[in-house]
Amino acid sequence: MIAAIVTLAATGFTAGLGLMYASKKFKVDKDERIEKINEMLPAANCGGCGYPGCMALAEAIVKGKASPDACPVGGSELTNQIASFMGMEVSTGVKKVARVCCNGGNENGIVKYDYYGPKDCNSVTLLAGGLKVCTYSCVGEGSCIKSCAFDAMYMGDDNIPRIRPDKCTSCGKCVTACPRKLIKLIDEDKPFIVSCMSKDKGPDVKKACKVGCIGCKMCEKKCPVGVIDVDNFLAVIDPSGCTNCGTCEEVCPTNAIRNFHNIKIKL
């Protein structure tokens, strides 16, 4: 009995020595800069940067796999802070904000039936393609709003989500949450948006929505810089070349093109 105890103790002691040696031999020193950058980050862990959390992003920045401006939440101030800490130079671009490309709310979109189920956009789309005649329109149950961790979205009186540009961090959570892919991240200084995603022909669009794009090509023909194309019965504006002249909004016969800077937002 004593021999067994001694043997067990000796074995444990030997194993302990082996583990201690291994821990020292294979120890990986953690770069202190990772913790420092993690402390600078907003701790939102929203995933907007493409990494699972702020610590993962901090590690990627230190290893050179991500740039100092990778965090969409912190803005230019955080970018400059991280770049200064890392001894790097980085140019901050124009802020992007979310835009809901649909205006087919209560008064504009034609409804097929009343819905009394769960307040979830994905659930609604499973019922005959949604409660509206237009199968491309905003469902209006607010899944995008629930996904926003920054109070940057609210439901408008017309049952179309609204974005508060000052609070939007362009994290992209709302983009992912929308089952119809109606939300896009666009440069804040490019406010002219086609508020429609329907690819139906003009006559069918008119039966479903009062303000849908009918593919008439008026905006394409009148655009002075040629940055609008009508593809698959839907007008698309290339924001990179848009000069914000407003001609497209003026000539659109259905008011499908809107200047988002003119939309009143609740603060």
Q: pLDDT tens digit string along 135-172?
A: 999 999 999 999 998 999 999 999 999 999 999 988 89
- Per-residue pLDDT, averaged over 174-196, amounts to 96
Please give the Cα distance from 130 to 140 (Å, whole number).
10
pLDDT value of position 146: 96
What kind of fold does domain 94-189 have according to CATH? Alpha-Beta Plaits (3.30.70)
43 or 17, which is more confident: 43
Collect contacts of 14-23 with beta carbons under 8 A, ≥24 apart.
none
Residue 120 has a pLDDT of: 92
- Give the pLDDT band of residue 29 (cuts 50, 70, 90): low
> Is pLDDT of 202 > 90?
yes
What is the dotted CATH code of the domain comprising 33-86? 1.10.15.40
Cβ contacts of 17 within 8 Å, gap of 6 or more: none
Could you tell me which of 123, 120, 126 has the C-alpha nearest to residue 146?
Answer: 120
Give 230-246 pLDDT, tens digit per residue.
Answer: 999 999 999 999 999 99
Look at the domain 190-259 and name its fold.
Alpha-Beta Plaits (3.30.70)
With cut-offs at 50, 70 and 90, classify the pLDDT of residue 180: very high
Query: Residue 185's Cα: distance from chain center in Å?
Result: 6
Gap between the terminal Cα atoms of the chain: 78
Statement: residue 216 has pLDDT above 80 = yes
Confidence of residue 206 (pLDDT cuts 50, 70, 90): very high
Domain boundaries, the chain: 33-86, 94-189, 190-259
Res 21: pLDDT: 56
The pLDDT, as a whole number, for residue 239 is: 92
Express as a percent the part of the chain with pLDDT over 90.
62
Q: Is the pTM of this model over 0.85?
A: no
Quote the radius of gyration of the chain (alpha carbons, Å).
Answer: 27
**Per-residue pLDDT for 22 more than 80?**
no
Tokens of 148: 């926003």
Q: Could you read off the pLDDT of 46-74 as tens digits, one per residue? A: 888 888 889 999 999 999 888 888 888 88
Instruction: Convert 59-82 to b/e letters by CB count within 10 Å (16 or more is b).
Output: bbbbeeebbbbbbbbbeeebbbeb
SS3 59: helix
Task: Tell me how far CA of residue 61 lies from CA of 30, 48, 84, 101, in angstroms.
Answer: 14, 15, 13, 33
Structure tokens at 73: 């939440």
The per-residue pLDDT of the chain, averaged, comes to 88
Q: What is the rounded distance in angstroms from the CA atom of residue 208 to the CA atom of residue 198? A: 10
- On whether the CB atoms of residues 147 and 177 are closer than 8 A, the answer is yes
* Closest by Cα among 108, 118, 106 to 146: 118
Is the pLDDT score of 25 beyond 60? no
* CA dist list (Å): 52 to 23, 40, 63, 198: 28, 17, 16, 34
pLDDT at site 192: 97
Give me the residue label for tokens 């769960």. 118
Residue with tokens 């302990």: 16
Q: Is 161 helix (H, G, I), strand (E, B) or coil?
A: strand
Q: Do domains 94-189 and 190-259 have the same CATH topology?
A: yes
Instruction: Give dist(CA 2, CA 104) in Å, integer.
Output: 84
Q: Where are the beta strands (DSSP E) in 48-102?
A: 96-100
**pLDDT at residue 115, as a whole number:** 83
Query: Do you know the residue count of the chain?
Result: 267
